[in-house]
């Protein structure tokens, strides 16, 4: 069987690597290399990193992360150290190593600077260095990111998205092995801001439903803690869209994976681990693409459901609620030890105990409504 994978980002390379046991695979990537332009903070769990060690080397490793400081809008904070640790990777190296690994496989043909344009029956029209060409395929996998052309050509619905904006700049982190998460209405209308430390710099960003540049400026210039620790101008600026929920991503001999399918953690915007699980599932179920969709959603559906509930809570909580939560959280750090960053359902195990600590009935009602009832 011949499979055309459109997109040589992490989802496309991982899909091809898992399909190559069963099919001859061609990856078309429109850019001269993978990982360009960078739209990522590079934070992945150590579980994810150790599973990907078959494909990537420590050359992409920039930092190791022990946990997170969660900051309320007044600058007060609580330290969370969960079950999972994390690493920060350099996506330019990470993505190119994945694509190179795919190119080394006998059954995978990688074509860079080649753009998928359209389809006619089982022939795909691509435009590469030698002009236009028709590629014959039996199945096509769209791994071409959130603005997927494959999804458009085949009429798949598009996932709802949030907007992200991130800078890298000199920064004095509270601890160089802890990420910082910033909550409050001045830093996002529905999500949070973050800083991922990299020695004497950090990737500092926000995710919001609109106007991310305003929230990012607020964070860098007005936040009571962050603004005092930003030490220099911007070294790098990235913007991007983050899908919030998977769509129905398989039909006939066409399937989507990664951001094209909306496969990110709804409560953090992190995509890579969920793409890896999708690629494994695709490899296991191929050529039955409907089974790929069903089995992936069976494995991950509950995690998406819980992730959406956590994300819902961000919009319900006020600045005062966050200040209160930090105070309460300071006495309950041991509950965080049970959380895993890839698994929002791990929160469900601790949430009844946490709600008991909430003396404010309005706050406990918000937690109960969002997390337990999904309202």
Ligand X SMILES: Cc1cc2nc3c(=O)[nH]c(=O)nc-3n(C[C@H](O)[C@H](O)[C@H](O)COP(=O)(O)OP(=O)(O)OC[C@H]3O[C@@H](n4cnc5c(N)ncnc54)[C@H](O)[C@@H]3O)c2cc1C
Residues that bind ligand X (CB under 6 A): 6-12, 28-31, 34, 39-44, 115-116, 143-145, 149, 164, 166, 205, 238, 240, 242, 258-260, 264, 269-272, 275
For the beta sheet containing 139-142, the strands, ordered from the edge strand earlier in sequence to the opposite edge, are: 108-111, 24-28, 2-6, 139-142, 254-256, 250-251
261 or 358: CB nearest ligand X: 261
Q: How far is the CB of 375 from ligand X (least distance, A)?
A: 28
Query: CA neighbours within 13 Å on the CB side: how many for 32?
Result: 0
Q: How far is the CB of 209 from ligand X (least distance, A)?
A: 14
Burial bucket for residue 291 (CB in 10 Å: 0-12, 13-18, 19+)? middle
Q: How far is the CB of 152 from ligand X (least distance, A)?
A: 9
Name the strand (E) or helix (H) holding 149.
helix 149-153
Rounded Cα–Cα distance for residues 186 and 192 (Å): 10
95 or 321: CB nearest ligand X: 95
30 or 90: CB nearest ligand X: 30
Rounded Cα–Cα distance for residues 83 and 298 (Å): 24
Q: How far is the CB of 275 from ligand X (least distance, A)?
A: 6
145 or 159: CB nearest ligand X: 145
250 or 325: CB nearest ligand X: 250
In terms of phi and psi (left: phi > 0; alpha: psi -120 to 50; beta: otherwise), the region of 138 is: alpha
7 or 82: CB nearest ligand X: 7
Query: What would the two tokens of residue 205 be?
Result: 């960003």
Helix (H, G, I), strand (E, B) or coil at 14: helix
11 or 135: CB nearest ligand X: 11
Q: How far is the CB of 191 from ligand X (least distance, A)?
A: 11
DSSP states along 253-266: TEEE-GGGGT-S-T
Query: What would the two tokens of residue 191 be?
Result: 């999500």
Q: How far is the CB of 70 from ligand X (least distance, A)?
A: 17
193 or 205: CB nearest ligand X: 205
Q: How far is the CB of 40 from ligand X (least distance, A)?
A: 4
Q: How far is the CB of 240 from ligand X (least distance, A)?
A: 3
Rounded Cα–Cα distance for residues 70 and 67 (Å): 10
Name the strand (E) or helix (H) holding 366.
helix 361-367
Rounded Cα–Cα distance for residues 222 and 75 (Å): 11
């Amino acid at each position: 069987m011949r499979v055309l994978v459109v997109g040589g980002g992490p989802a496309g390379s991982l899909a091809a690597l898992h399909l190559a046991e069963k099919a001859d695979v061609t990856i078309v990537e429109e850019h001269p290399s993978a990982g360009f332009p960078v739209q990522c903070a590079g934070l992945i769990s150590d579980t994810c990193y150790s599973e990907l060690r078959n494909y990537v080397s420590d050359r992409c490793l920039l930092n190791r992360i022990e946990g997170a400081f969660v900051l309320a809008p007044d600058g007060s904070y609580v330290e969370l150290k969960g079950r999972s640790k994390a690493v920060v990777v350099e996506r330019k190296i990470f993505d190119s190593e994945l694509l190179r690994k795919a190119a080394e496989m006998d059954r995978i043909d990688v074509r860079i600077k080649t753009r998928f344009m359209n389809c006619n029956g089982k022939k795909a029209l691509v435009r590469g260095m030698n002009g236009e060409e028709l590629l014959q395929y039996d199945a096509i996998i769209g791994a071409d990111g959130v603005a997927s052309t494959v999804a458009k050509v085949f009429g798949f619905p598009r996932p709802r998205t949030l907007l992200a904006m991130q800078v890298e700049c000199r920064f004095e982190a509270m601890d160089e092995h802890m990420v910082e998460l910033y909550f409050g209405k001045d830093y996002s209308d529905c999500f949070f801001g973050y800083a991922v430390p990299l020695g004497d710099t950090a990737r500092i960003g926000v995710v919001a439903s609109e106007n991310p540049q305003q929230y990012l400026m607020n964070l860098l210039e007005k936040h009571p803690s962050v603004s005092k620790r930003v030490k220099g101008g911007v070294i790098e600026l990235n913007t991007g869209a983050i899908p919030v929920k998977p769509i129905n991503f398989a039909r006939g001999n066409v399937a989507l994976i990664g951001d094209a399918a909306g496969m990110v953690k709804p409560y953090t915007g992190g995509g890579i681990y969920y793409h890896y699980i999708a690629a494994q599932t695709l490899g296991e179920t191929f050529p039955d693409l409907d089974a790929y969709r069903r089995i992936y959603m069976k494995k991950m559906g509950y995690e998406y459901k819980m992730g959406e509930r956590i994300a819902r809570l961000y919009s319900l909580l006020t600045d005062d609620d966050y200040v209160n939560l930090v105070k309460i959280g300071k006495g309950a750090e041991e509950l965080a030890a049970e959380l895993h960053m890839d698994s929002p359902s791990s929160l469900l195990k601790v949430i009844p105990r946490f709600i008991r600590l909430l003396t404010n009935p309005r706050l406990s009602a918000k937690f109960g409504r969002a997390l337990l009832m999904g309202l």
